[in-house]
Amino acid sequence: MTDSYYNPKDLRKFKDIKEFEPKLAEKFFDWYGEVFKAGALSEKEKALIALGVAHAIQCPYCIDAYTEESMKKGATETMMMEAVHVSGAITGGATMIHGLQMMNKAKKISM
């Protein structure tokens, strides 16, 4: 056992989650594979969305995986950083819009 919560070597073992529950894992990986195939969005666009989400949910495995995937699909450094900014703007915006909830509550209980 490693003494860290995250072990980079686990990324390569992702498929091992099927050890405890194979049927659901199989369905998950089939769906996962389909999701990232080119459709109305290109594979590169999907990889960049995944990269942005990876930052929003702060998953180190996903950041590693989708930085590389984005580069494989031909994304530039600028594109990847723009995806991170989009992610930051949305997570920042999500915090800030709750400011209205705070204001509403504050106003309601104020004289």
Using alpha carbons, list the distances in angstroms from residue 58 to 41, 47, 87, 102. 24, 16, 10, 26
Residue 41 token pair: 């969005």
- To other proteins, the closest distance from the beta carbon of 8 in angstroms equals 9
- At 5 the three-state DSSP class reads coil
- To other proteins, the closest distance from the beta carbon of 3 in angstroms equals 21
CA distance 77 to 84: 11
> What's 3's DSSP letter?
S
* Interface with other proteins (CB under 8 A): 12, 38, 42-44, 68, 71-74, 76-77
The residue (of 52 and 69) whose beta carbon lies closer to other proteins is 69
The residue (of 23 and 37) whose beta carbon lies closer to other proteins is 37
- To other proteins, the closest distance from the beta carbon of 92 in angstroms equals 28
The residue (of 55 and 73) whose beta carbon lies closer to other proteins is 73
- To other proteins, the closest distance from the beta carbon of 43 in angstroms equals 6
The residue (of 2 and 101) whose beta carbon lies closer to other proteins is 2
Residues with Cβ within 8 Å of residue 18, at least 6 apart in sequence: 25, 26, 29
